[in-house]
């Protein structure tokens, strides 16, 4: 089991890798994809959960950083249950997030 200090370092590295991946995507998509692979691997090795904004900002199918209007689009769907559907333009993977009514 990793020490608490290791988790803090892992979280910092994950956040820096994600920000670098977003910066580099427009010039070098391959390097950006490599950064996302590294941050996932760091999270797995240290058993650290990825923050929500990072999980939803990456494609699970191909590992690219999702940038609205550039390589992905988001729609609000009403079929079955209301949900937000984000589609990756590179691999076609659809990420669905349920929309729940607030009480």
Residue 39 to residue 13: CA distance in whole angstroms:
7
What is the overall mean pLDDT for the chain? 90
Q: Above 90 in pLDDT, residue 50?
A: yes
Residue 19 to residue 24: CA distance in whole angstroms:
9
Q: Above 90 in pLDDT, residue 79?
A: no
* Confidence bin at 3 (pLDDT 50/70/90): low
Percentage of the chain modeled with pLDDT above 70: 94
What are the tokens at 93?
Answer: 């993977």
Contact 62, 93 (CB under 8 A): yes
Write down the pTM of the prediction: 0.84
Q: Is 1 exposed, middle or buried (0-12, 13-18, 19+ CB in 10 A)?
A: exposed
Cα–Cα distances (Å) from 99 to 11, 44, 48, 70, in that order, read 28, 28, 26, 24
* Confidence bin at 85 (pLDDT 50/70/90): very high
């Amino acid at each position: 089991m990793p020490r608490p200090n290791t988790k803090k370092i892992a979280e910092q590295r994950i956040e820096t890798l994600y920000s670098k991946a977003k910066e580099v995507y427009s010039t070098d998509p391959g390097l950006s994809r490599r950064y996302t692979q590294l941050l996932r691997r760091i999270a797995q090795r240290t058993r650290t959960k990825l923050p929500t904004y990072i999980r939803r900002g990456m494609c699970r199918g191909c590992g690219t950083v999702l940038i609205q209007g550039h390589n992905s689009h988001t729609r609000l769907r009403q079929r079955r249950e209301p949900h937000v559907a984000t589609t990756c333009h590179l691999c076609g993977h659809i990420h669905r997030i349920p929309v729940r009514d607030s009480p």
